[in-house]
Structure 1
Amino acid sequence: MNKSEQLDLSKIGFLAMWKLGGLTPWDLVRRAFIGYNQHRLSAQSAQFAYYAIFTLFPLLMVLIGCVAQLPIEGLIRSMENAINMGLPHDLSQILFDQIADIQKKTTFSLIMGGVVLLSWGGMRLFLTMGKGLDAVFEVDHRRKLLKAGGLSLLLTFFVLFLLLLAMILLVVGPAMARLLLSNFDMPWLHVLLSAGTRWSVACGFMLISTSVIYWAVPSVRLPWNIITPGSLFVVVSWVVMLLGFREYVENFAHYNETYGTLGGFIVLLVWLYMTGAILMMGAEINGVIYRAAKEKSAAIS
C-alpha cells in the first residue's frame, strides 16, 4: 500500500465506518470470514497465544508489585473476584496459584526481572499483532523493526497502566455503590450493581485497549475512533466467549481427564487463542469496511 492510499484511509470518517462502507451486514460478514482465511489470521492467533503465555505471568508479577505500592486495600481480592466471575475454575486456579506465589516471593529484583520479561514478551506480542493487522490492511511497506519495537514496548506499558486503573476501579466502583445505597435495604441491588461494575470495567478496558491497538499498531495511518464496528465486535464476542467457554469447560469438556495435570494449561492456551482470534477478526471487520469505503469513494470520484 503506497503513501497516497494510506492518506485515503486516514480520511474515512466515523459515519462511513458505521455505514459499513456501503456494505450490507451480510456482505460484511461474508467478506470478513473470507479475509480472515486469506490473510491467515488463524496462524497469527496461534502466535498471539504463544507469546501471551510468556507475557501473562511477568505481567502478573509487575502488577502485584505495583499494587503493593498503592495505598488501597482489597485490590488483589477484587481482581481475584473478577477473574473468578469470568473464567473457568481450572484457569482461575492457575492464576490464583500464581498470584499467591508471587505475593509470597515478591522482591525488588523479582519485580525488575518481571519488567524485563514483560518488556520482551509484550514487544513480541504486539509485533505479532502488527503482522496480522498489516495483513488485514494489505500493507506493502511495514514499519522498520526499531520503530515497531519501540511502539510495541510503549503499548505494553499502556496496557499495564490500563490494567492498574481497572483494578482500582474494581475496588472504588463497588465501594461508591455501597455508599450510595447504604440507606436501601435491598441486598439483590448491591449484588447486581457490584457485578455490573465488574463487567463495565472489563468491557471498558477491552474497548479502550482494542481501539488504541487498531489505531496505532497497523503500519498505515488510520483515523482515531474510540469505538468502531471491529472494536464493538471484540467486546461483545469476548464477553460471549468468556461466558460460553466457562460453561463449556465446566460442564462438557474433560481437559483434566485427557491431558492430566496439563489440563489447566491447555484451557489457558485455548482461551488465549480464542482471544487472539476475536481480536484478529475485529481487525478484519474494520479492514473490510475501510476497503469498501475507499472503493466507494473512488467510484464516486
Structure 2
Amino acid sequence: MAKGQKRTQVWQVLRRAVARFNRKNAWVLSSHIAMSMMMALFPFVLFTVSLSGAIASLLSHRIVVEDVVNLVFGSWPPSVAKPITREVYAVLETSGTGLMTLGGILALYFASNGVDAIRVAMLRAYGQEETRPFWKHRLISVGLVILGGVGLLLAAFFELFLPLAARFLGRFFPDLDVLSGWENGASGLVVAVVPIAAVFLYHLVLLPQRATIRRIFPGAATTLVLWWAAGLGFAFYVSSFASYSATYAGLAGAMAALIFLYLNAAILILGAEINGVLETDRAAAAKDTRDA
C-alpha cells in the first residue's frame, strides 16, 4: 500500500473514531471515569500501603510509602501531582495501615469503582454487551486493583534493591559497563512501564470478548502517545496560563488533577473507539467473504 493511501486510511479511521466518540457522548463518560478515578486514588494508595505492611516487613514504612506514591504519580505533570501527593501523605499520616480491616476492604472496593467505570467505557467503545454476572466483572475489577498494588510494590522493591545490587557487583566487576548508570535506580523506566501495562490490561481483561494484543495495539499505542503529549501540554498550560488558585482557592490542586484525569479518560476512550472501528471493519470484511 502506498504511503499516501496508508495516511488516508489512518485519517479515515481516526475521523470515524472521533465521530463514534461524539455520538456516544463519551465526554460525559469521561467525566464519570475521571471522578471515579479521583475518588479511587486515595483508597488505592491506602490499600497498597496496607498491602505493603502485610508483605513487605523487611522495609521501613516510610520508604515503601514514598516509593508507592512516586510510582503512582510519577507520570503526572509535577504541577498537577504535587498538591495531590501532599494530600495523600496527609491522609496516610492519620490512617491505619491494617489490610484486613473494614477500612482496608472499603478502600479496595472504592478503588475498584474506578476500574469498573473504565470497563463500561470499553464495552461501549467496542460495541459489546456485558454477558458476565455482576460478581464476576466486579471481581475482575477488584483483582486488577490488587494486581496493581502488588505490581507497584514489586516495582518499589526493584527500585530499592537495584542500586544496592549495582554497587555490590561494581566492587567485583569495576570495568563492567553494563553496571554503570544503575546506581540511582531506574525510576524513570518503571514509571514509563506502569501506564503501558495499565492500558493493555484494560483492553485485554475488562472485555467479555477478549482480543489479541495485535488487535488492541493500534488503540493502545494511540492512547499512550496522546497521554504523553497531553501530559506535556497540560503541564505547560498549568504552569503558564491556568489560574486555578484564583478560581477554586484551596481546591485548585484537586481541580487541576480532576481535569487532567478527565483529559486522560477521554484519550483512553478514543483509543478504544479506534479499535472499535477496526473491529467493525474486520467483521464487515469477514461477512463479505462468507457471502461471496
170-179 vs 228-237, greater mean Cα deviation: 170-179
Q: Which residue number in structure 2 is paired with residue 203 of structure 1?
A: 192
Quick one: distance in 2 between partners of 1:23 and 1:147?
Answer: 41
Q: Is the counterpart of residue 52 in structure 1 residue 37 in structure 2?
A: yes
Cα distance, 1:245 vs structure 2: 1.6
Q: Structure 1 residues 178 and 118 mapped into 2: Cα distance closer, same or farther (>3 Å)? A: same
Pick the aligned partner of 1:87 from 77, 83, 92: 77
148-157 vs 113-122, greater mean Cα deviation: 113-122
Q: Which residue number in structure 2 is paired with residue 290 of structure 1?
A: 279
Quick one: distance in 1 between partners of 2:8 and 2:279?
Answer: 11
Q: Which residue number in structure 2 is paired with residue 99 of structure 1?
A: 89
144-153 vs 223-232, greater mean Cα deviation: 223-232
Between the two structures, name the one with larger relative contact order (CA 8 Å, sep ≥ 6). 1
Cα distance, 1:261 vs structure 2: 0.8
Q: Is the counterpart of residue 269 in structure 1 residue 228 in structure 2?
A: no
Q: Which residue number in structure 2 is paired with residue 238 of structure 1?
A: 227
Alpha carbons 1:215, 1:224 under 8 Å: kept? yes
Quick one: distance in 2 between partners of 1:246 and 1:170?
Answer: 26
Alpha carbons 2:244, 2:256 under 8 Å: kept? yes
1:226-281, CA deviations, whole angstroms, 9 ceiling, x for partnerless residues? 97112222222222222322222122211011111111110121122122112211
Pick the aligned partner of 1:129 from 109, 118, 136: 118
TM-score of the aligned structures, taking structure 2 as reference length: 0.79
Pick the aligned partner of 1:67 from 52, 56, 59: 52
SS in 1 for 2:101: helix
Once the two structures are superposed, the pairs formed by residues 74-223 of structure 1 within 5 Å of their partners are 74-79=63-68, 83=73, 86-89=76-79, 91-103=81-93, 105-108=95-98, 112-140=101-129, 142-173=131-162, 190=181, 197-223=186-212
Q: How many residues align?
A: 275
67-76 vs 200-209, greater mean Cα deviation: 67-76
Q: Structure 1 residues 177 and 67 mapped into 2: Cα distance closer, same or farther (>3 Å)? A: same
Q: Which residue number in structure 2 is paired with residue 300 of structure 1?
A: 289
221-230 vs 133-142, greater mean Cα deviation: 221-230
SS in 2 for 1:219: coil
SS in 2 for 1:24: helix
Cα distance, 1:291 vs structure 2: 1.5
Cα distance, 1:292 vs structure 2: 1.4
Q: Give the root-mean-square deviation of aligned CA atoms.
A: 3.2
* Percent of residue pairs bearing the same amino acid type: 22
1:60-85, CA deviations, whole angstroms, 9 ceiling, x for partnerless residues? 11222233452246343344555467
